[in-house]
A and B are shown apart, each in its own frame.
Chain A
Amino acid sequence: MLARSGSNEAPLTETPQQQRTAQLHRRALQRQRAKVIGRHLLLVLVALPFIIPFYWLLISSFKTNAELLNLPPTFWPHPWTLQDVRSAVGVSGFWDYVRNTAYITLFNVIATVVSSAIIAYPFARIRFPGRDAMFVLVLITLILPPWTTLIPTYYLYKWIGWLGTLRPVTWPALTGNSFFIFLLRQFMMTIPYDLSDAARMDGCSDYRIFYHVILPLIKPALATTALFTFLWTYNDFFNPLIFLNDPSNYTLSLGVYQFVVNHGIANTGAIMAYSLILTVPPIILFFFTQRTMIKGVTMSGLKF
């Protein structure tokens, strides 16, 4: 009876039951709408503490130094000024830092992708004595905290004359990264072995199989490797802090820290503008590589 309101022979006047159904229906709709609005309110409320620091970074970079000390603080710069950005870019050595960062990051991305893929290949595709033992070594270097090797490595670099150059933060990438060796090996193992066996029957060497059969099939994993190597290297503060002693070799991250150490935190506008500039490249990269980035995070727990 109650469910009859939608029947074909709609009467001109609604019976009391039909009225009640319509009313119930309307209430359900209202409840549904209230629920949706409630959810959005909750999300906005929780999102605010996440977005406000970001907004603060942005507007602090365009306020005058006088306005930055206004109490209560202003939520819209008046006037907008480029003075902070100019001071940030005018930090002595800034363009050296940009060049160094670009060089170090590019070097690490290319070297890590190439060397990790080459190293992963025999672990995944060639049977040779001692393979499992060697792979356990890869896993150990993956888990071991870097502090033990770090201190002697510093002295090794000192003894062979690498301190004062960019080599300590670039050349090690040529020997592969344990994490990506592991990741790429897992990927290579999913490729059917019939494929390489057939190629081998035709007289293909392992070098050609690697280059012509395997590499084209693991492009997504190579992209993940490149992306996260970029983020890690760009973000890295620790290695430059320890290994780059010459100010002309500083990266952008190390440069801003040294700037603050040298001049104090009084020049807040310039410091915020510098931090904003520092933040722009990874954010831009995110908008172009969103899918790869999110997939990399969920797939393997990659963090940066």
Chain B
Amino acid sequence: MAVSAQRARGSSPETWRNLRVALVFLLPWLIGMLGLWLIPTGLSLYFSFTDYTGAIWPPHWIGLDNFRAMFDGTDPDFNTTLGVTAWWVFLSVPIGLAASLGLALLLNMRVRGIGIYRTIFFIPSLVPFVGSSLLFLWLLNPQYGLVNQFLGLMHLPQLGWFTDPTWAKPGLLLQSVWASGATIIIFLAGLQSVPEELVEAASLDGAGRLSRFWHVTLPLLTPTIFFNLILGMINAFQYFAQAFVVSTIASAGAGSGGGSGEVGGPAGSTLFFSLHIYDQAFQQGNVGYASAMAWGLVVVVAAITLVVVGTSGRWVHYAS
């Protein structure tokens, strides 16, 4: 009886009615899927095999030349952009995560008024990218900036920051740590879900503060670290707005004349992958080549994500 009812439901009239109703609900999504995903993805694949410049239609088919150009030296900036992006993904992401975790540990202490401290750490993340980029251009101004004045006061060397190829990326890292409130809050939530009995039990067993953190808290926090790592790396590969604003303005010089400077400057030191794609696609008119690089980015992001997910079984502990 139940089986026949099931079968009756699975058969035509109701299934078709459901599909019809569902498609009505899905209509806006289907339009977006077609117009904003399927057609653009197809076009993008097509562009990557052509020398399309954005002007002459139809573009000229050049096979794999765009993909070869990344590696055979046709694009002298490609190795630069790989190095800059690798620095950002493999150095700044771990540093940023460690800093956020440290701050979350501080914010997890039990003192009165901790809510005020939490607000202080969270609020910078609400400053719009352009605003925080302009603020850090001012704070890290080599001559008048507050940070260099402070360094001078401490008898430390004053730095060129966004005008110095060595210090431009660390400057961006400072800005990104300053605005990492969301990551801190996610870590804090992770810390608060660590059962206190476990930490206390370890304490009774004579474990010191460091060993409690290392052997109890940290393993229980690995799911949160994993989550932040994946999100952080995916975002790092696509890092754009801050570097774009800072590099184009800083390299335009301090004069009142203005003008847009070098994308990814100084000397290509902040030429992140997405900045290079933008520059090639929208400023140099190498639309085909930029599309090929975009596909390269997709492949690399997918590969690295799979590697991190694949190795996660070895270091991420899920409470059963």
**A and B part of one assembly:** yes
- Interface of A toward B, CB cutoff 8 Å: 36, 39-40, 42-43, 46-47, 49-54, 56-57, 60, 68-69, 71-73, 115, 118-119, 121-122, 126-131, 134, 137-138, 141, 143-156, 172, 174-176, 181, 205-207, 210, 231, 234-235, 237-238, 241-242, 253-254, 256-257, 260-268, 271-272, 274-276, 278-279, 282-283, 286, 294, 297-298, 301-304
Find out whether the CB atom of A238 lies under 8 angstroms from the CB atom of B241.
Answer: yes
Cβ–Cβ contact B240 & A286, under 8 A:
no
Give complex CA distance A174, B30 in Å: 11
Interface centre among A42, A128, A155, A282 (most CB of B within 10 A): A128
Considering the complex, give the chain B residue whose CB is closest to the CB of A146: B238
| Interface core residue of B117, B138, B228, B245 (most chain A CB under 10 Å) | B138
On whether the beta carbons of B121 and A47 are closer than 8 Å, the reply is yes
Contact: B44 with A47, CB < 8 Å? no
Instruction: Assess whether B47 is in contact with A256, with CB atoms less than 8 Å apart.
Output: no
Contact of A126 (CB < 8 Å), options: B21, B47, B153 = B21
B290 within 8 A of A: yes
A255 to B120: give the CA distance in the assembly, Å. 28
With a cutoff of 8 Å between Cβ atoms, the chain B residues found around residue A57 in the complex are 127, 131, 135
B36 adjacent to A54 (CB under 8 Å): no
Is B28 a contact partner of A303 (Cβ separation < 8 A)?
no
Would A122 and B21 be within 8 Å (CB), given that A264-B258, A265-B254, A297-B182 are in contact? yes
| B contact residues around A68 at 8 Å (CB) | 144
Q: Which residues of chain B from 1 to 32 have any CB-CB distance to chain A below 8 Å in the complex?
A: 15, 18-19, 21-23, 25-26, 28-29, 31-32
Residues of chain B within 8 A (CB-CB) of A156 are 35, 39-40, 43
Q: Which residues of A contact B103 (CB under 8 A)?
A: 46
Q: Which chain B residues numbered 199 to 250 have a C-beta less than 8 Å away from chain A?
A: 227-228, 231, 234-235, 237-238, 240-241, 244-245, 248-249
Within 8 A of A (CB), among B105-129: 106, 109, 111, 114, 117, 120-129
A176 to B149, CA, bound (A): 48
B101 within 8 Å of A by Cβ? no
Q: Mark B264-285, 1 if CB is under 8 A from A, else 0.
A: 0000000000100110011000
Could you give 17 example pairs across A and B, Cβ below 8 Å? A39-B109, A50-B120, A72-B149, A118-B28, A138-B29, A145-B234, A148-B295, A149-B40, A154-B281, A254-B130, A256-B130, A260-B249, A275-B131, A283-B123, A298-B185, A298-B188, A303-B231
Q: Is the interface of A mostly helix, strand, loop or mixed?
A: helix
**Interface contact B294-A148, CB-CB below 8 Å:** yes
Cβ-defined partner of B130 (8 Å) among A146, A237, A283: A237
Q: How far apart are the CA atoms of A175 and B40 in the complex, in Å?
A: 15
Query: Within 8 Å of chain A (Cβ to Cβ): is B303?
Result: no
Q: A-contacting residues of B (Cβ < 8 Å)?
A: 15, 18-19, 21-23, 25-26, 28-29, 31-33, 35-37, 39-41, 43-44, 47, 54, 103, 106, 109, 111, 114, 117, 120-132, 134-139, 144, 146, 149, 153, 178, 182-183, 185-186, 188-189, 227-228, 231, 234-235, 237-238, 240-241, 244-245, 248-249, 252-260, 274, 277-278, 281-282, 287, 290-291, 294-295, 297-298, 301, 305
Q: In the bound complex, do residue A265 and residue B137 qualify as a contact, i.e. CB atoms below 8 Å apart?
A: yes
Please determine whether B25 and A121 come into contact, CB atoms closer than 8 angstroms. yes
* Min C-beta distance of B78 to chain A, whole Å: 15
B47 contacts A151, C-beta separation under 8 Å? yes
CA A52 to CA B149, docked complex, whole Å: 14
Q: Which residues from A are CB-within-8-Å of B305? A: 143
Partner of B36, one of A36, A129, A149: A149
Q: Which one of B111, B188, B258, B278 lies within 8 Å of A40 (CB-CB)?
A: B111
How many angstroms between the C-alpha atoms of A241 and B283 in the bound complex?
12
**Judging by beta carbons under 8 Å apart, are B22 and A272 in contact?**
no
For A46, what are the chain B residues with a Cβ–Cβ distance below 8 Å?
A: 103, 106
User: Do residues A119 and B28 form an inter-chain contact, with CB atoms below 8 A?
Assistant: yes
* Chain B, residue nearest A115 (CB): B28
A residues less than 8 Å from B15 (CB atoms): 128-129
Given contacts A50-B120, A50-B178, A174-B28, 13 further A-B contacts (CB under 8 A): A42-B106, A54-B127, A122-B25, A146-B238, A147-B298, A148-B291, A151-B294, A156-B43, A172-B36, A257-B130, A263-B256, A275-B131, A301-B228
Q: Which of B15, B25, B114, B290 has the most chain A CB within a 10 Å cutoff?
A: B25
Complex CA–CA separation, A228 to B128 (angstroms) = 13
Residue of A nearest to B19 (CB): A128
